Structure 1
Amino acid sequence: MMTAIIAVIVLAVDQLTKYAVQSSTVLQTRSIEVIHNFFYLTYVKNTGAAWSVFSDKTQLLALVSAVAIGIMLWYVITKKPKKWITIALALMIGGAAGNMVDRIWLGYVRDFFDFYPFGYNFPVFNVADIALTVGVIMLILASLKEDKHA
């Protein structure tokens, strides 16, 4: 139950923020500077994955997302992992679902967080990407902790 709640919250926040950004007439024409030379809101239509890998492979990426979501759900339901692994997988399911919805309905993913750390133009990303990244980091840390105690 916790997995579903977390995944649905991530999916809802992701889709609501994407809708808000997409609906902004200002962001349709230019970026909004939030922190000078560091953080901007920039609306981007991404047809690929991270760093635009697999550009224009939207259907393949949607299929991979669906399979990954299915595997993670199967794991949570059948293996009943510990709390932190369950939370990590729930974040990953919600994030994968958020980007998959965009790919299926729009043919691209809506990205908008645009950072320039130390002058480097980091790829533009969204809430789903944050949930995926945090989930992966949590999964790695939880797995390392379990290995240490085994």
Structure 2
Amino acid sequence: QEAHGDMRKDARMMDLFTMINHNLDNHSKENRNSADSEAEARGSLLKGVKLRTYAVVCLSSAAALIEWMTGFQTMRDCITSAAARVLEQGSPFVKLLNTKVRDDILAPNGTTAFVRLVRENPPICRYPGFVVYGWVHHWPR
């Protein structure tokens, strides 16, 4: 995509490509049904010719949802693997949770202990995968 590109332009291009595919398909069918042998040859040349298209739903000029293509990883798989790396046995965050701080969080004044834990060891900065750990376990596939 060009610098400062507009996602609405991508959506319009896909609309144009869909229209071209429709016209190619109609032209190919018309020429195949023709009695003229030259027109029939042109129709056979166009048979199966298609431009690759995908759905684009514009959210703004800079953001859009684009149809998922094959060979890519889903967002959930990316998040799940990131959370697994963060919470694997022996990671600093798991070690931290397995210390006395965890017991302090479970105590009646646990809110204060949790605030201290986050201030001293901000998981968002040090362990980005932890931020989405709850999301992964809250929403099933």
- Is TM-score (shorter-chain normalized) higher than 0.5? no
TM-score range normalised by the length of the shorter chain? under 0.3
Which of structures 1 and 2 has the bigger CA Rg?
2
Taking CA–CA contacts closer than 8 Å with sequence separation of 6 or more, which of the two structures ends up with the larger relative contact order? Answer: 1
TM-score by length of 2: 0.28
Tell me which protein shows more strand as a share of its residues: 1
TM-score by length of 1: 0.26
